[in-house]
């Protein structure tokens, strides 16, 4: 998304975390809202620390440009210590 300042918006999305970015992306791609503004807090001591955004998808999903690392294997062990079968 290109940063720009606008006085008029159909939708304000507060916070550019995983949920906020997903919502803003879906709204702009769907054509539901003509003007979507994403509001982020300024840098400083009150801004939350960055977090890892993880997801698992089969095939492509349009988020490839945002991926900075990927894994081909996921191992999950249950309470009994045995591996669980998981898939996207």
User: In this predicted structure, what is the pLDDT of residue 13?
Assistant: 93
Give the residue among 14, 24, 85, 21 at the shortest CA–CA distance from 55. Answer: 21
Structure tokens belonging to residue 26: 């879906």
* 47-61 tens-digit pLDDT: 777 777 677 777 766
Whole-angstrom distance, CA of residue 17 vs CA of residue 22? 8
* 3-46 tens-digit pLDDT: 666 678 888 999 888 888 889 888 888 877 678 899 988 888 88
The CB-side HSE value for 45 (13 A sphere, CA atoms) comes to 0
Give the residue among 80, 8, 74 at the shortest CA–CA distance from 37. Answer: 8
Asked if residues 9 and 34 have their Cβ atoms less than 8 Å apart, the reply is no
């Amino acid at each position: 998304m290109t940063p720009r300042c606008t006085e008029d918006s159909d939708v304000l999305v507060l916070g550019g975390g995983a949920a906020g970015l997903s919502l803003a992306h879906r709204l702009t791609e769907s054509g539901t809202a003509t003007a979507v503004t994403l509001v982020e807090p300024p840098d400083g001591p009150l801004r939350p620390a960055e977090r890892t955004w993880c997801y698992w998808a089969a095939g492509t999903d349009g988020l490839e440009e945002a991926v900075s690392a990927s894994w081909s294997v996921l191992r999950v062990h249950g309470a009994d210590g045995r591996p669980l079968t998981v898939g996207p």
